[in-house]
Every structure is written in structure tokens, then in C-alpha cells.
Amino acid sequence: MATALFITRNDLVRNSIIDGNVDYDKIVQFVKVAQEIDVQNLLGTDLYNRISADIIAGTLTGNYLTLVNEYVQPMLIWFAQMNYIPFSAYTIAKGGVYKHQAENSQTVDKNEVDYLVAKAREYANYYSTRLVDYMCFNQSLFPEYNSNTNEDISPDSDTTFNGWVL
């Protein structure tokens, strides 16, 4: 089944720290990964597939449109950034792995990159919690939310993953 992207390039650029000059082809795979892993994990397979099919068909309306615009998109924007930031300075090409640096810029160290990722994760978790709260109170509006079976991903209502503690 083909999957639609739940955000556009403009959504990402207008609502994130990602500059409009960044080649969208360098970012789109991180949007897909965030959508397939993080968004699907919170919506469940059936609701995720319903939204994707409605976007492809151009029939996303009503409660589903509200869900996507108000809850899914803000969360996806921050998860996509969180995934993109660690890779943003690198390109893998025929000759190897390259790190880019403009003439009038200064690269940041790993601690600064980690800080940016942590902040993006913080915002993504905030929006994830809003989504889960909304779904808890509005499950009846979305029958696909609880219809997952077998190998489908059932919606996760725990948004408090903070990493491993050893």
C-alpha cells in the first residue's frame, strides 16, 4: 500500500528550524521514518492507513482532518527534525562520507547537536502527549483507532520514553 506524507515541505520549513534552502530530498526520508515509526506507533496501523488513504484520495475531511492538522502534523514536524539533525552535516557519495561546512560558518560540536536533538525530542513528546490525550477522549470519532489485529501496530498510549538508564 502506498503511503502519503502527512506533512508538506512548506509545513516543515514554516514550523521548524530547518531552513528553506535545505534540499527537501535530503530531509524527506527522515519525515518518512518519523511517520512510519513514531506516528504509526501512536495512531495504530488501521488509523494510520485510513489517514494515508484519505490523503492520497484527497478526501481527508472532518474529524480526520482536525486530527492531522492539530495533532499529527506538529508532532511529526518535531520527530522529523529530531531524526534529521544528527545527519544534516553529512553526505554519503561515491567517494565516501563527507562533512559539509560553508566558508562563513562554524560547525557545532557533538554536545550542541545532542542538545538540539534533545530539544526536538522534548517538543515531539509534548505534541505526542497532546495526541494521546485527544485520542483517549475522542476514540469514538475514529473507529480505526481500536480495530488493529494480528501483525498490525496497536496504538501506544505511553509517550514518556526518556532513553535507557543502566
Tell whether 13 is covered by a domain.
no
Q: Which residues contact 59 (CB under 8 A, 6 or more apart)?
A: none
Total domains in the fold of the chain: 1
Local confidence band at 162 (pLDDT 50, 70, 90 cut-offs): low
* 83 in Cβ contact with 118 (< 8 Å): no
CA angle 48, 49, 54 (to 5 degrees): 100
Tell whether 165 is covered by a domain.
no
- How confident is the model over 86-99, as pLDDT tens digits? 998 888 888 888 88
Tell whether 152 is covered by a domain.
no
What is the span of the domain harbouring residue 45?
21-146
Tell whether 6 is covered by a domain.
no
Tell whether 15 is covered by a domain.
no
Tell whether 63 is covered by a domain.
yes
Tell whether 121 is covered by a domain.
yes
Cell 521548524 locates to 16
Q: What's this model's pTM, rounded to 2 decimal places?
A: 0.88
- How confident is the model over 111-149, as pLDDT tens digits? 999 999 999 999 999 999 999 999 999 999 999 999 888
Tell whether 115 is covered by a domain.
yes
